[in-house]
Amino acid sequence: MDRRGFCINACQLASLVAVGSLLEGCASSPTAPSDSQAQIATLTGAVGNNVVTVNVPTNSALATVGGAALVTSANGAFLVAQVSQNTFNAMTAICTHQGCTINEFGNSVFQCECHGSQFSTSGAVVRGPATQPLQRFNTTFAGNVLTISV
């Protein structure tokens, strides 16, 4: 092997080592969540007169106390949790850390998959990096229809 061939091979090897170490660093990012929750059930809400209405069938994720769902609508995305019989908390599904949509739920905690921020079913920060709670919205529930005032 001549000197030029040796230099080319050495540079290629050094590049592979450098790229490999970069990829390894990405896999263990300190801001990546390490304890992902299950994807949250999604329901679709209808918009009208500054409210979002959602049908809550008996087999839906919101039909029981402790259940939660992501409600999508033309007015945005909302996290909804049934916190007691016929009582629901609704809050924005947009994480206060960097604006990602929160779409994981488990053990009564909503989790942002982007950086692992966790929020209680009342919207309070359970674990950062987020420092601000989620915006809350008033709700009413009657006849299996949930109404979120926006």
38-149 has which CATH code? 2.102.10.10
Evaluate whether 133 touches 147 at the Cβ level (below 8 Å): no
pLDDT for the residue 35: 62
Indicate the domain borders of the chain: 1-30, 38-149
State the 10-residue block means of pLDDT for the chain, 150 residues long. Answer: 61 53 40 64 92 92 93 94 94 91 91 91 92 96 94
Distance (Å, whole) CA 135 – CA 126: 15
pLDDT for the residue 71: 95
pLDDT for the residue 7: 55
In this structure, is the dihedral angle defined by the CA atoms of residues 31, 32, 34 and 38, taken in order, positive or negative?
Answer: positive
